[in-house]
Amino acid sequence: MGRAYLSLGSNLDAEAHLRDAVAALRARFGEVQVSRAYRFPAVGFAGGDFLNAAAAIDSDLDPFALNDWLHALEDAHGRDRSGPRYGDRTLDIDIVFYDALVLDGPGHLRLPRDELRHAFVLKPLAEIAPGFVDPVSGCRLDAMWRAHPDHDVGFAPVAI
């Protein structure tokens, strides 16, 4: 059993897709700790704003099997992987941390996730796991968020 910290995002019917994703996580893993959702501009392409949130689960799956399970969940919500890497998404769920593992694997699995540098990943994670220590930098998530250049931007929470 491992503790996984996930980043969830959507910019297509976002509220519905995020609600459904959290429900699927609860159905499979039981108790799920979920941050508030926040609206962030698209990164890497010109597109509509995303709603992003974070979730923490206790998983009986190893990181590779969990990554596969999450990809299947994305696919079940209409995720289109045929287009450019950066584009509109019905559902995007990434494992940011799995315990304190540092690894690379198939299916774009990288722990910790590089996107941690972006506010859309870091802010929601720091909300639910402020004391978690990034195994690469040795820094707590709350300290990383306080030092982030977007820390003082007023990202408004959105109900999902």
Which of 47, 44, 40 shows the shortest CA–CA distance to 8?
Answer: 40
Angle between helix 14-29 and 63-76 (nearest 10): 140
Whole-model pTM over 0.85: yes
In sequence order, the 6+-apart residues with CB closer than 8 A to the CB of 46 are none
Residue 27: both structure tokens together: 């159905």
Neighbours of 9 (CB within 10 A): 27
Q: What is the pLDDT of residue 88?
A: 75
**Digitized pLDDT (tens) for each residue of the chain, 160 residues in all:** 899 999 999 999 999 999 999 999 999 999 999 999 999 988 877 788 899 999 999 999 999 999 999 999 998 987 776 666 776 788 999 999 999 999 999 878 999 999 999 999 999 999 999 999 999 999 999 999 999 999 999 888 988 8
Task: Enter the DSSP assignment of 42.
Answer: -
Question: Could you list the active site residues?
Answer: 79, 89, 92, 94
Q: What is the pLDDT of residue 84?
A: 67
Query: Which residue, chain included where needed, has tokens 């506010």?
Result: 119
Q: How far apart (Å, rounded) are the C-alpha atoms in residues 14 and 12?
A: 5
- Please check whether residue 97 is in contact with residue 5, taking contact to mean a CB–CB distance below 8 angstroms: yes
